[in-house]
């Protein structure tokens, strides 16, 4: 499909005028740089741009270098359905509200495209979950999720009764609105709204979060990524109505007919769950790849990524995103102080005991003291501390 030419697949939220305009800008700029651009056939008419039309499906991203997504996290989750089978990284331009998955803002669109052209981006692997549904011992559905798989009550159910399991052992039964099985990526999505913890994406774990459970033990749980989680649907009582002569209807006092639940994966794929259904969740075999932009002039490749991570810490970008998205207060933060490393031996000279020599080395029998520090009462202290004591 690509004839050896660098190819980008573009996915957009065509219901938003800003997304359509941004998509046309991206197509024109990529084409001018010599790259081939594809768009999904259902979106082509709304986008009105010169690009190759491809049917939506696993082949849409085959051979694509990157999938650029213009919209919110929901659009990116939709694009993941075509990018994941092809192993193509997703680069999101956020037009939504929070946008934890999206990397760039529309104001930086030109720079974003230029970095894609220059290959100034790194690729992150995001853990997924594989989900199977069983009824009477037979598998009836197989699906997956990037954020979460949720067993939820249907609209007519007053309360859903489930029992949970970890690695073949029963954990707890709950009367609840549902249960969320989430990835670290999904910890800032539905699981976060249900009171679950925020988990940095570099952490490999499974989250089990009950929704509005009527129980003393209903805390969110973080579980090994090697574990298998299961949720068994006992059922729920439908909200029945009983006629009341002359006054219409009122809710029935009985439990009513037992009804099932529904499984939602990333809010996009659903499976009906009759009473007795079993949902199993385990770490996904195939991850989702996300492209993260580098600053102009930075090197690409694994070595550069490791060097950057060693300086700032692998969790620093997500920390910054968390602070920015939620407007977290960081007033008063002073940051990490520069480490006091000893200088090479060639730069050191001897000094009287108890006094720091130039280069930070004390005379034999004395403590090694860095420049700007001194020894007071047997302790190495800033040079100004001893002076301040004398002034006092």
Catalytic sites, residue numbers: 73
Tokens of 77: 């989750």
Exposure class string for 215-244: b at 16+ Cβ within 10 A, else e: eeebebbbbeeeebbbbbbbbbbbeeeeee
Identify the bridge partners of residue 281 per DSSP, sorted by sequence position.
131, 229
Residue 200 makes CB contacts below 8 A (sequence gap 6+) with: 184, 315, 318, 319
Residues ≥6 apart with Cβ < 8 Å to 160 = 151, 152, 153, 175, 176, 177, 178, 233, 235, 236, 261
Rounded CA gap, 174 and 171, in Å? Answer: 10
Phi, psi of 194 (to 5 degrees): -90, 10
CA pair distance 241, 144, nearest whole angstrom: 37
Phi, psi (rounded to 5 degrees) for 37: -125, 135
Residues 6+ apart with CB under 8 A from 327: none
Pairing of strands 36-40, 90-94: unpaired
DSSP tag of 104? B
CA atoms of 183 and 216, how far apart (whole Å): 25
Measured CA to CA, the distance from residue 16 to residue 45 in angstroms comes to 14
Question: Per residue, what are the HEC states of 179-243?
Answer: EEEECCHHHHCHHHHCCCCCCCCCCCCEEEEEECCCCCCCCCEEECCCCCEEEEEEEEEECCEEE
């Amino acid at each position: 499909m690509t004839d050896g030419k660098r190819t980008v697949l573009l996915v957009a939220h065509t219901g938003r005028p800003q997304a359509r305009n941004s998509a046309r800008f991206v197509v024109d700029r990529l084409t001018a740089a010599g790259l081939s651009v594809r768009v999904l056939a259902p979106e082509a008419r709304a986008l009105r741009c010169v690009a190759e039309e491809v049917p939506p499906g696993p082949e849409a991203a085959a051979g694509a270098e990157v999938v650029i997504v213009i919209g919110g996290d929901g659009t990116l989750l939709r694009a993941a359905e075509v990018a994941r089978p092809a192993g193509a990284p997703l680069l999101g331009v956020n037009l939504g509200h929070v946008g934890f998955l999206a990397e760039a803002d529309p104001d930086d669109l030109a720079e974003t495209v230029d970095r894609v052209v220059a290959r100034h981006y790194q690729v992150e692997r995001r853990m997924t979950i594989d989900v199977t549904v069983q009824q009477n011992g037979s598998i009836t559905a197989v699906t997956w999720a990037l954020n979460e798989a949720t067993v939820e009550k249907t609209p007519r159910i007053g309360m859903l009764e489930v029992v949970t399991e970890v690695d073949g052992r029963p954990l707890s039964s709950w009367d609840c609105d549902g249960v969320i099985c989430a990835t670290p990526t999904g910890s800032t999505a539905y699981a976060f709204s249900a009171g679950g913890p925020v988990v940095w994406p570099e952490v490999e774990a499974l989250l089990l979060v009950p929704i509005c459970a009527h129980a003393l033990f209903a805390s969110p749980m973080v579980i090994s990524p090697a574990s298998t989680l299961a949720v068994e649907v006992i059922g729920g009582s439908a909200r029945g109505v009983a006629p009341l002569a002359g006054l219409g209807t009122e809710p029935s006092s009985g439990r009513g007919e037992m009804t099932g639940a529904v499984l939602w994966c990333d809010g996009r794929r659903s499976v009906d769950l009759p009473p007795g259904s079993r949902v199993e969740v385990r770490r996904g075999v195939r991850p989702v790849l996300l492209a993260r932009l580098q600053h102009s002039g930075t090197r690409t490749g694994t070595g550069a990524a490791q060097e950057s991570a060693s300086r700032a810490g692998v969790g620093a970008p997500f920390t910054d995103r968390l602070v920015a998205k939620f407007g977290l207060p960081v007033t008063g933060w002073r940051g990490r102080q520069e480490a006091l490393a000893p200088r090479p031996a060639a730069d050191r000279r001897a000094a009287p005991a108890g006094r720091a020599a130039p280069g930070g080395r004390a005379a034999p029998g004395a403590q090694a003291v860095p420049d700007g520090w001194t020894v007071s009462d047997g302790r190495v202290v800033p040079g100004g501390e001893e002076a301040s004591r004398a002034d006092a």
